[in-house]
Amino acid sequence: MTLLLASFDPPYWLSTLIKVLVISAVVPTTALILGMVFLFKVMSWMQSRLGPQEAGPRGTLQLLADGVKFLQKEDIAPNGADLFIFKIAPLVVLMSTLLLYVALPASAHLVISDLDVGVFYVMAVSSLSVLGVLMAGWASANKYSLMGGLRAAGQLIAYELPMVLAVLGVVIQAGTLSLNGIVFAQADGSIFGWDAIGNPYILTQFVGFAIFLAAVQAELTQPPFDMPVAESEIVSGYQVEYTGFRFLIFFLAEFATAFVFAGVASILFLGGWAVPWLDTSSDWYYVLGPIVLFAKVMLVSFLIFWIRFTYPRFREDQLQSFAWKFLIPLALVNIVVTAVLKVVL
């Protein structure tokens, strides 16, 4: 089985077709899994209730039913809206999410495109969603939308910086920008000569991991960083005029992005698809890699959603000063210390 997968080398058109199909199947599935497991179940448990129970066994198909419900709704656009921009804005947000999946390796060869500058690509593409959000906020011809769009732009730009700076520490330590290269570096690395479990960077770059998680939380506009979509003050911000499947696309993009960011975090900090006691060149990773990566992604997602369900919302000025006055200086110090240690050791 594993040998069969290893020797599978399809022609260019077939591999492209397979990749497109895999991406378009994986993105909604991951969004469904995260929504179902965390938004419906874990959140309910944390609030001492059981969550949906009726649709499917123990309510597991509830989100699917909700999705179908959204598809049945009328596609409404406000009178004053800039129609073309209004209609493509959710697709721009979704495009950013789809592009993120391209660089995510599920094992050494199970990757849509193994880029040499994978980290750089991920950071660049993830900031594309700001454009979609701004387009949605501006084109809706609604004051709440505009306010939400501008808040989102301010927040996403502010938190893009600490995220990049936190990742830089990992890049310095691994000495490569390739996501697969970072996985190899962690599997083969050692912590001050001790190499029993390689060197998962969460141990040596814990500050970077914490900053990265906080920045991811803000990029996803999830509580406690949900000023742009604050229901109680600007009624979901830039999403306020969207109905039906366009709203569904925003929802899908949010949760698929949460999944892919958890994936990036587990590749950068938790050793990605590799396990310490199996050599990275093993053929077993064709099957084991995706499973290991999925388990790690669920772990990181749990952290992200745990924080989401626990803390109340930041005020706008607290949110900005947290990024500029605390996270960015901390990330810079982290980079300096990492660089010095890298040269000295």
From CA 49, how far away is CA 45, in angstroms rounded? 5
Three-state secondary-structure class, residue 47: coil
Q: How far is the CB of 329 from other proteins (least distance, A)?
A: 13
CB nearer to other proteins: pick between 172 and 307: 307
Q: How far is the CB of 152 from other proteins (least distance, A)?
A: 24
CB nearer to other proteins: pick between 167 and 262: 262
Q: How far is the CB of 246 from other proteins (least distance, A)?
A: 32
CB nearer to other proteins: pick between 144 and 322: 322
Residues that bind other proteins (CB under 8 A): 42, 44-50, 53, 306-307, 309-311
CB nearer to other proteins: pick between 98 and 214: 214
Contact between residue 141 and residue 193 where contact means Cβ atoms under 8 Å apart: no
Question: Helical H runs in 10-142?
Answer: 12-34, 43-46, 62-72, 83-102, 118-126, 129-139
Q: How far is the CB of 327 from other proteins (least distance, A)?
A: 13
Q: How far is the CB of 11 from other proteins (least distance, A)?
A: 49
Sign of the CA dihedral with 46 first, then 260, 250, and 52 last: negative
Burial of residue 137 (number of CB atoms within 10 Å: 0-12, 13-18, 19+): buried
The string of DSSP codes covering 79-108 is TTS-HHHHHHHHHHHHHHHHHHHHT--SSS
CB nearer to other proteins: pick between 8 and 311: 311
